[in-house]
Amino acid sequence: MGTKKIKTYQKLFAVGVCSILLFTVYFYRDPNRTIPNGNNLCVSPADGNILYIEEYNGLPKIYKDGNSYILKDIDKYYKNGSYVIGIFMSPFDVHVNRAPVGGEVVYIKHIDGGFYPAFMGDLSKKNERNIIIIKNGSDYIGVIQIAGILARRTICTVKDGQCISMGQRIGSIRLGSQTAVILPKDKYILKVKKNDRVYAGETIIAEKIKNK
């Protein structure tokens, strides 16, 4: 009887270990993507669903779990207003982030966080995040990586001054959370709406207005 119990525990242990290994492989997957052609396009930086689309004439804001914080450091890039598109990344989505446009990385800022759930207070003081600004011609496109209660780390793999291509890998967020895009609203027409499913490097989320 004791031997049968040991064998049962061994089987359960083996199943648990295999499940963890399979999830790890699944989580760290990094599939190739078909990047669309066109310097007038802006693609999604993340896999996930569109959480919100906001329009601003003043300082842009990022929302998460009912909280918000103002992006004071980058308002100089969006003097004529901006669109902010928030993308929810679940733990089951591909966690790799890609460049929404090609260009030069002109601004990178990392803010440490405590990884607390949003209901515990001011999100801007709790959640780790990266702010990346890419200059494409005369336009500035922002990517914000925001960690959540499960996401333990935001990773940026590009450097200030680096030239990158649209769809190029620029970082990741462990276990998902949220990635947001900031676009100059006088230069782009949005091609997505709330709840749309998007894929990093493939889904066109905005198109530049001609002659802008």
Q: Which helix (DSSP H) or strand (DSSP E) does residue 15 occupy?
A: helix 2-27
Q: Is 138 a catalytic residue?
A: no
Quote the CA–CA distance of 94 and 179 in Å, as a whole number. Answer: 12
**Residue of 44, 82, 172, 177 marked active site:** 177
Residue 95: closest CA among 85, 87, 103: 87
Q: Sign (positive/negative) of CA torsion 165, 166, 172, 173? A: positive
Do the beta carbons of residue 83 and residue 138 sit within 8 Å?
no
* Residue numbers annotated as active site: 177
